[in-house]
Structure 1
Amino acid sequence: MADMLLTAVHDIVRAQIDNPGPEAPPGSGSSTRLLRHLVWIHLFATVIAVVCWVQYARHQGVGRGRTITGVVVALVLGLASAGAGLVLGAGLD
């Protein structure tokens, strides 16, 4: 009997409370903008790192296969970390 009463009171109280939609925390606009700029800077730095690796590998006489492997690894790591930054930044929106 007490469980039914408690459940009924709980349902009445919950029906009175509005269910607000998701909203960004106050003041998160500037941090979201900063995160987006940092992701672009990160992608640009990834491209620069790949170009520098190719130039360094050519200068050192590293084989073509190892150079391509380094480029692929740098691109995958750069894009994965930029994607992770975007996913983590989605919580601010």
Structure 2
Amino acid sequence: MILVSTYDVLAQIGNPSPEAPPVADKILQLVQYLTWFVLLSGIIAIVYAGGRFAWEKWSGGGLESPKMVAGAMIGGVVATSAGTIMNAVIG
């Protein structure tokens, strides 16, 4: 009896088609701006770390900047592949 009534309710609901949320275009625009900001900050970090690496090499100080370069590059890889990672996890 319960299964029959559940089937009747599900038959009335049907198969809904996917639909974008009402503010999806604004959210997508915000995500695009954030993506550009992340890429720009990554480029700035690599340039800064490269300049600091040259300065440390020239002045003979301790070499801390290779860690900065590696961190910026790893962060850039993770940031640019975030969409692919989320598609693999969700999809």
| TM-score, scaled to structure 1 | 0.69
Displacement of 1:83 in angstroms is 3.4
Please list every run of 5 or more consecutive structure 1 residues that lacks an aligned counterpart in the other structure: none
Within 1, Cα distance between the matches of 2:80 and 2:28?
A: 14
Deviating beyond 6 angstroms after TM superposition, the runs of 4 or more aligned structure 1 residues are none
TM-score, length basis structure 2? 0.70
Shift of 1:45: 1.4
Match of 2:47 in 1: 51
Once the two structures are superposed, residues 9-60 of structure 1 have per-residue CA deviations (whole angstroms, 9 ceiling, x without a partner) of 1101111112212222211211111111210221121011101101011112
5+ long unaligned stretches in structure 2: none
Tell me whether 1:11 sits opposite 2:19 in the alignment.
no
Length, aligned pairs only: 82
Q: Deviations over 1:46-89 (max 9, x none)?
A: 011101101011112255xx6555323211112313433x449x
Contact 1:43 1:78 in 2 (8 A): yes
Which of residues 59, 72, 75 is equivalent to 1:74?
A: 72
